[in-house]
A and B are shown apart, each in its own frame.
Chain A
Amino acid sequence: MNPLLTKLKDRFPDAVLAVREEGPYKDLVAQVKPSALPAIARFLHDDPETAFDMLSDILSVDYPEDEDRFEVIYQLKSLPRNHRLRLKARVPEDNPTIPTVTSVWKGANFLEREVYDLMGITFAGHPDLRRILLPEDYEEGHPLRKDFPAEGRGWRSTFPFLPRLDEPASPAVAAGEIPEEQHRPFLKEAEGLPEDAQPVRRQEELLLNMGPQHPATHGVLRVVLELEGERIVKATPDLGYLHRGVEKLCEGLTYQQIIPHTDRLDYVCSMTNNYAYVRAVEKLLNITVPPRAEYIRTIVAEMQRIIGHLFWLGTQALDIGAMTVFFWTFREREVLLDLFEKLCGARLTLNYYRIGGVDSDFTPDLVQRLHAFLDTFPDHLREYDDLLLTNRIWLARTKNIAVISAEDAINFGCTGPVLRGSGVAYDVRKAEPYGAYDKVEWEVPIGKNGDTYDRYWVRLEEMRQSAKIIRQCLQLLPDGPIIADVPQVIPPPKQKVMRDMESLIHHFIIFTQGFKPPKGETYCASEAPKGELGFFIVSDGEPKPYRLKIRSPSFVHLGAFDHMARGYLIADTVTIFGTYDIVMGECDR
């Protein structure tokens, strides 16, 4: 038994119900009483031996058959000790209440709101328990509960406002004019003002809506700013405009059907999403990937990181007002996208990774073009440096803007460049190496001040490191198969399907029913360009996941938005959106 679990059990003999190591990878799990949660959380956070300073994720699973219906799961991560723990607590259906842990980890604020929203579990003592992804007046219940139909309530073609494809078109609404009645409410209000309502000079805080349709919000995000003059007093992000219920959707799909859906989470970097997801499934199935596939995966993921960071650099510079950088970064991005297109036939939604390997192999032509790109890439990075690195406008807009200290960043659960900009050298690729990352040489760049400029610098440096990783991987690239040979799980090659009865049977079964992983649950984190992207899968032995939770960095980062925006100017909000590198598709899921 792991000493950590023993210690926890000894310290709280009554409150800790069970401790165990789960699965082939020995994930540490502790089942605790919900009432004792704050004390245990405090202990785990403060004790120097456990030192769980980061809360990766909170999620809940619904087991309608069980006595205590809901299970709330806390994924903890310790940066100094580099270990993880899954803390679980059960709450009954008639009183689904559990104490909040926001006093221990500030990042719990958004995560608990999400659980409240989607599963209907109340967190006693939470400072602001409202729905977060769904609209606040949503009355249909909590969609992640098992009694909520996976189809949704009423499906697409039963909504009267959506034309059905198999019916003739209804007569078009008269040429797009807004009818008079719809103007009324606004007019009435203006007319209804009392005659003597003279404007008086007064002082008050101003509420300003930023978004959802604002070009710099990187998608559809609305932030309600409370202003004093131009200074931000409080910023409340309002999410969920892009909520598609991917987690619920995945409960109705087989494991390999989910891969194309992960493309659409962070649509700027879909390779790394694919990677994070297939790694989680492979961990669940406990299959090993052939070495060539590992190298190809690493190369492709790093290409995607360069693309993601180039995209970020261009848009952040554009938000701040530098136009040229945007065009130039897109020029380089295009080269890599062309390579992706050659490799797998798509540019953005790639669907390239497969469970157990990858879809297609590198061709010599592709490798050569990649080398050519790597040869010129440092020069291009130098060009961006010429434009930005010491530019006084850029410095004025980024230095000392949105500063977050290392402790706060960890406490909010920030990961990726946002955390490293504050000087914390945490990178999943180093801390829990996967792929070929432990076979090549590279460094984790870190910043000092935790401001926007440092995060910019960290990302630029990461691109250089990525280029270095790709170069080494290309040199080391071994020969061999690109997909593992596990006929129960991985569809056999097409040529065999055409010739071999047994392959044909496997092929039919995998595509009609899907494969059945063993019962169990697993959490697997990978380093996406935006931060730690984690997939948590609960399998009940069926071909479809019982519950799939996506820990998306953008969502967690937005939890720190209020903290980072306070005291800065309105004009800085776009900088702050940009500095997280948020993508709302991933944030809202």
Chain B
Amino acid sequence: MAVAQWVKTLTFYEILVGMKATITVLIQRIILRNRKAITLQYPHEKRELPGTYRGMIALLRYDDGTDKCVGCDLCESACPSRVITVISSEVEGEPMKRYAKEYYMDMTRCLFCGLCVQACPVDALAMTTEYEWAKYNKRDLRLNKEQLLALGDRNFPVREKKLEFQHPNVAYFNIGHKNLPPKES
């Protein structure tokens, strides 16, 4: 036992075992080439992101090009770091309909937590898979409504169909109760 220990100590046995592990990988990688590299050559190669990815936030539109947002301010109050500012206003000529006249997101302080998306009752917000948003000037990260809608157009080419009373809660804003779809029981 003691002799074996001595031999191991003198031959640097455990170091050799460790070296074997590293050198095996080296040989597999460089000579046999049967082991794939795990690293990616970013930015030339990019990872495939899952659809659930929580990247930049975008505002969505209906298929006829009108914004989904009804200016209800829920996202603003759900946001834990006060990223969102909504200034809502009436749709001209339709006093019971509202929309977001101005909509700002200060992305410098966003936590990308997704609570705003969960809060929005009409699914007007969505998180995209965009992430390369480094800027030289941080003012560029205060996005206005046009920029957010552009983000949405870019990332969600398939838009939801607008049915006048598709969402009863839109109908609720418009006091259009008579056309409610049947309730799930």
Contact = CB atoms under 8 A, between A and B. Distances in A.
Contacts of B142: 165-166
Contacts of A494: 118, 123
Given A391-B14, A498-B121, A504-B172, A260 B111 contact: yes
A324 B15 contact: no
Contacts of B106: 165
A163 B136 CA distance: 13
Contacts of B44: none
B101 interface: no
Contact of B80 (A257, A334, A383, A507): A257
Interface of A: 163, 165-166, 169, 253, 256-261, 263-264, 324, 331, 334, 341-346, 349, 351, 360, 383, 386-392, 491, 494-501, 504, 507-508, 511-512
Given A253-B80, A511-B74, 18 more contacts: A165-B142, A259-B113, A261-B80, A342-B52, A344-B54, A346-B54, A349-B113, A386-B20, A389-B14, A391-B14, A391-B18, A392-B9, A496-B184, A498-B167, A507-B119, A507-B121, A511-B78, A512-B73
B147 interface: no
A165 B108 contact: yes
Nearest to B55: A345
Interface of B: 9, 12, 14-15, 17-18, 20-22, 38, 49-50, 52-54, 73-74, 77-80, 106, 108, 111-115, 118-119, 121-123, 127, 137-139, 142, 167-169, 172, 181, 183-184
B73 to A, nearest CB: 8
Contacts of B50: 341-342, 345
Contacts of B119: 507, 511
B21 A498 contact: no
A391 B54 CA distance: 42
A500 B80 contact: no
Nearest to A334: B38
**Pairs of residues from A and B, 8 with the lowest C-beta to C-beta distance, nearest first:** A260-B113, A257-B80, A345-B54, A345-B52, A390-B14, A511-B119, A511-B78, A387-B18
Contacts of A508: 74, 121
A341 B49 contact: yes
A512 B77 contact: yes
Nearest to B9: A392
B80 A345 contact: no
A388 B113 CA distance: 38
B112 A346 contact: yes
Nearest to B111: A260
Contacts of B20: 386
Contacts of A344: 52, 54
A504 B70 CA distance: 15
A258 B50 CA distance: 26
B42 to A, nearest CB: 13
Given A345-B127, A349-B111, A386-B18, A501 B139 contact: no
A343 B139 CA distance: 33
Contacts of B121: 497-498, 504, 507-508
